[in-house]
Amino acid sequence: MSNDWIAAAVALGGGIVLGALVGFVARRVLSRLEHPGLRSIASATSVFLFWLGVSVGVLVAIAFVNPESLDTIPSDILSWLPNVLAAGLVLLAGVAAGIAAAAAVGRALSRATGARSPGTERAIRLTVTFGAGILALGQLGVDTTILIVLIAALGFGLATACALLVGLGGRSVAGQIAAGRALRAELRLGARIRLSDGAEGRITQIRPTRVHIEVAPGELRVVPYEVLLREPYSIVTDDAGAG
């Protein structure tokens, strides 16, 4: 009996080591691929393969300690294995889709406002991944009706809150963008500009909602377009700047 327990412990440890090794190799291989979607699921694939190896080790350990309990397991595994594989693929696809959606939203926000929103990207990534997790549970036969109802209610609340935020707070961003379009013909990269407070410098960046002005070496001033539209400024020519 003691030998059986020793063999079971060895099998369990072997499963853990095997899962860790296979997961590590899969993560290294996927992370080096050029396709960003495959790189994004490297960590999730590694975790999935690790627990798959642990599960194999557990089954082998049970076979050493109590072989009779495994009499019905082969047929159960064969009938359940397609669901497990489908759930794993759905979860991995959800992780990849969440990362891709978060990156797309981040780029869109960066073009619209001039700055990315890590919190928004993280929320989108977690939401898509969580939705994929629910679909994966459905593949495993878990009743997800209550979860779907709760998520629908939560999604409706978040959508309402986002609509209010966009309606109330988006006006400021829209105003900055409109002001920038009105001033875009007068502003160009490299031009010298003198502000109403006497500060003077060269325009180094023209963003959707603001302009960057280098007023001194190592000193950058960020001026919203609404400020330029509201307060007088001067475009300094090279001759005027030299004089």
Given a cut of 70, is residue 51 above it in pLDDT? yes
Give the pLDDT of residue 163: 64
Give the pLDDT of residue 79: 66
CA dihedral 232, 236, 242, 243 (to 10 degrees): -50
DSSP assignment letter at 237? P
Count CA atoms closer than 13 A to 12's CA, side-chain side. Answer: 12
Of residues 116 and 129, more confidence is placed in: 129
Percent of the chain predicted with pLDDT > 90: 0
**Across 5-9, 20-24, 229-233, which has the greatest mean pLDDT?**
20-24
Give the pLDDT of residue 161: 63
Mean pLDDT, the chain, whole residue set: 75
Phi-psi region of 190 (alpha: psi -120 to 50; beta: other; left: phi over 0): left
Give the pLDDT of residue 133: 79
User: Among 55-59, 112-116, 153-157, which is the least confidently predicted range?
Assistant: 112-116
pLDDT, one tens digit per residue, over 141-188 is: 766 676 667 667 766 766 676 566 555 555 566 666 777 777 777 788
Cβ contact 214:223 at 8 Å: no
Within 10 A of 23 (CB to CB), how many other CB atoms are there? 21
Burial (CB count <10 Å: 0-12, 13-18, 19+), residue 197: exposed
Q: Which domains, from first to last, does the chain contain?
A: 2-146 (no CATH), 147-243 (2.30.30.60)
For the entire predicted model, the pTM comes to 0.43
**237: confidence class by pLDDT, cuts 50, 70, 90:** confident
For the segment 56-69, the average pLDDT, to the nearest whole number, is: 75
Measured CA distances, 105 to 23, 33, 176 (Å): 30, 23, 20
Burial (CB count <10 Å: 0-12, 13-18, 19+), residue 6: exposed
Give the pLDDT of residue 89: 79
Give the pLDDT of residue 240: 47
23 contacts: CB under 8 Å, gap ≥ 6: 45, 46, 47, 48, 49, 50, 53
Given a cut of 70, is residue 1 above it in pLDDT? no
pLDDT, one tens digit per residue, over 193-230 is: 888 888 888 888 888 778 889 888 888 888 888 888 78
Give the pLDDT of residue 90: 80
Give the pLDDT of residue 14: 86
Give the pLDDT of residue 206: 83
**242: confidence class by pLDDT, cuts 50, 70, 90:** very low
214 contacts: CB under 8 Å, gap ≥ 6: 201, 202, 204, 220, 221
Nearest-angstrom CA–CA distance, 205 and 193: 13
